[in-house]
Amino acid sequence: MTPPPHRSLDGVRSVVTRWRHTTPETPTDAGEEDEAVPSRSRRSWAWRIATPLVGLLSGALFVVSAHSSEGTDLRPGRFTDLASMVQYDRNRLDALKQKVADLDEQVLQLSGSFDNQQVRKYNRQADLMKGPAGLTAVSGPGVTITLSDAPQSTGEETPDTIDNPNLLLVHQQDIQAVVNAMWKAGADAVTIQGQRVVTTTGIRCIGNSVQLQGVPYSQPYRISAVGDVGSLTSAIADDPYLQVYRADAADPDINVGWDELVEDKITAPAYDGLTDLQYAKALPTS
């Protein structure tokens, strides 16, 4: 009896043969195998070039970071205490101030060496404005006011009679009130913590310290004025805000610090900060 067609071995061999010739994964000739070799070679050369290039870029990044840090920490957020952060900022500010002073000296030398009538005219005008701008030191008799927090605010419990614990602390408005009274009296110069106060000086309260010209200071706050002693003491005594402050200083339950001292000679150094102004300008209306 003749076996069924689908059981025929010849039929199986023919099907297997056709499948081998039509499978896409199998190259049909030797030429296709040769085309894969250049592709793998190109990828190998690309990796050989990219690897040293990445190494060179990483090295350049390390060199730039080291040059930018100038020996300091590029990640100041790692400071664990406020004192270290304040000291870091103060050192950085002192370095920038010294750099500004050196550049100003170079500008003065170059301006002085340039013999031009118009330049000399503007230099004379600038010299006349240095005094009113606070760019020259001033010495003379004056008054020094020292403000400090109440002793209760340093660790002891706040008395039950105090409804507002803020009365135990010195705030920026207290310092501003003293400075304004001194300017009102016609002071020739005013300093806070030894720093010259000019028209652009800002007093900011940050936490338990006061920031003056970018530098934080802690209490007690010494405010000195050079000028007529009689006018200064009268203006301070007559100021309504300071009258309230001095009443709190006399109250034994508050006892916020107030000390007034008349001095024969006070020296106010020249202002050494930035003199340019930064301001916003409104966009033109369409």
Asked if residue 90 and residue 154 are part of one domain, the reply reads: no
Provide the domain limits for residue 242: 138-268
Asked if residue 92 and residue 19 are part of one domain, the reply reads: no
> How many whole angstroms separate alpha carbon 283 and alpha carbon 286?
9
Helix axis angle, 229-238 relative to 240-250, nearest 10°? 80
CATH no. for residue 178? 3.30.70.1880
In this structure, is residue 230 part of a structural domain?
yes
* pLDDT tens-digit series, residues 222-262: 999 999 999 999 999 999 999 999 999 999 989 999 999 99
> How many whole angstroms separate alpha carbon 248 and alpha carbon 258?
9
In this structure, is residue 101 part of a structural domain?
yes
Residues 247-275: b if buried by 16+ CB within 10 A, e if exposed: ebbeeeebbbbbeeeeeeebebeebbbee
Beta strand 221-226 pairing with 215-217 = unpaired
pLDDT confidence of residue 218: 87
Asked if residue 179 and residue 93 are part of one domain, the reply reads: no
* pLDDT tens-digit series, residues 154-172: 444 545 556 788 889 999 9
CA atoms within 13 A on the CB side of 250: 6
In this structure, is residue 5 part of a structural domain?
no
Asked if residue 156 and residue 63 are part of one domain, the reply reads: no
pLDDT confidence of residue 97: 78
Asked if residue 95 and residue 187 are part of one domain, the reply reads: no
pLDDT confidence of residue 137: 95
pLDDT confidence of residue 54: 81
In this structure, is residue 274 part of a structural domain?
no
* 19 alpha carbon, distance to own chain's centre: 75
pLDDT confidence of residue 196: 95
Asked if residue 262 and residue 207 are part of one domain, the reply reads: yes
Asked if residue 143 and residue 264 are part of one domain, the reply reads: yes
> How many whole angstroms separate alpha carbon 173 and alpha carbon 169?
11
Asked if residue 46 and residue 84 are part of one domain, the reply reads: no
Asked if residue 194 and residue 171 are part of one domain, the reply reads: yes
Asked if residue 103 and residue 25 are part of one domain, the reply reads: no
250 and 242 Cβ atoms separated by less than 8 Å:
no
- Confidence class for position 34, pLDDT limits 50, 70, 90: low
As for how many domains the chain has, the answer is: 3
In this structure, is residue 253 part of a structural domain?
yes
Task: Give 88's contacts (C-beta < 8 A, 6+ positions apart).
Answer: 72, 73, 76, 79
pLDDT confidence of residue 70: 62
* pLDDT tens-digit series, residues 70-114: 666 555 555 566 667 777 877 887 888 788 888 878 887 877 776
In this structure, is residue 240 part of a structural domain?
yes
pLDDT confidence of residue 13: 44
Asked if residue 110 and residue 183 are part of one domain, the reply reads: no
Neighbour count for residue 179 (Cβ, 10 Å): 19
Q: Which two tokens stand for residue 251?
A: 């109250």
In this structure, is residue 3 part of a structural domain?
no
In this structure, is residue 164 part of a structural domain?
yes
Asked if residue 148 and residue 100 are part of one domain, the reply reads: no
Residue type, 173: Q
* pLDDT tens-digit series, residues 115-154: 778 877 887 888 888 888 899 999 999 999 999 999 865 4
pLDDT confidence of residue 185: 97
